[in-house]
Structure 1
Amino acid sequence: MENPWSGVVSVEVDGVARPMSLTLGALAELETVLGDDTLVALVERFESGGFSSRDVLALIVAGLRGGGWDVVSADLLAAEIKGGPRGAAEAAARLLARAFLLPEERRA
């Protein structure tokens, strides 16, 4: 299901592998959630390791919605994500990186 060439990242939620993708619509929704914050600031927080659990949750929700699952953040508050908080953060970071890499920069 994961496809680094198209920007798709897989995350396991409650034992089910789900595709995530930051489509244009998902990015627009993410910007709404971030409010006055920007996508550039979000990328910078992930690059520096200064991201928050709110950042991770917002990215996971946006990615899952972009991947076709009609989910809201409240749906994930009690969900089990494979790898726990660290697994969620790693999936969110891969998703963010793949959304903004050029095709020739992408690798597995």
Structure 2
Amino acid sequence: MGGRHMSGRANRHRGEVEAVIDGERRILCLTLGALAELETAFAAESLGDLARRFSSGQLKSADMIRILGAGLRGAGNCFSDDEVAGMAVEGGIAGSARVVGDLLTVTFAGDEGANRPNP
């Protein structure tokens, strides 16, 4: 597939976060479509179920790939989860976990997450 490089800064009020992935600064966003994709992938009955799963702190590597992939696609990038699995996130696994955590916080924390400063 391939991606679309995003050159602007993330707008946390719109649920966006920014990450350096494969050496390129990219925007990620869990839109309603991306959340629906995750509900299906995780067999969640509702957004509440999805939020509870994510807040458990028990995410597997495959879960992080799905969340990163959905966030990239939600922001207009065209990457499959298989492509995302082969990508390098700045900061390695800790950087990936930070991006996933930021994305989930800004998505599920509402104004509280949106009022955090941009990194």
Pick the TM interval, shorter chain. 0.7 to 0.9
* Structure 2 gap ranges (5+): 1-8
> Number of residues paired by the alignment?
107
Matched with 1:32 is: 40
Distance 2:93 2:104 in 1: 16
Distance 1:5 1:88 in 2: 21
C-alpha change, 1:34 and 1:48, in structure 2 (3 Å) is: closer
Matched with 2:25 is: 17
Matched with 1:43 is: 51
Greater CA deviation, 33-42 or 57-66?
Answer: 33-42
- 1:5 aligned counterpart, secondary structure: helix
- For the 8 Å contact 1:22–1:66, the answer to whether it is kept is yes
The question of 1:52 aligning with 2:60 is answered: yes
1:42, CA displacement in angstroms? 4.5
C-alpha change, 1:57 and 1:38, in structure 2 (3 Å) is: farther
- TM value normalised by structure 1: 0.85
Could you tell me the percent identity over the aligned residues? 37
Distance 1:65 1:27 in 2: 11
Distance 2:22 2:79 in 1: 13
1:44, CA displacement in angstroms? 3.3
Greater CA deviation, 36-45 or 89-98?
Answer: 36-45
- For the 8 Å contact 1:82–1:88, the answer to whether it is kept is yes
* Structure 1 gap ranges (5+): none
1:13, CA displacement in angstroms? 1.3
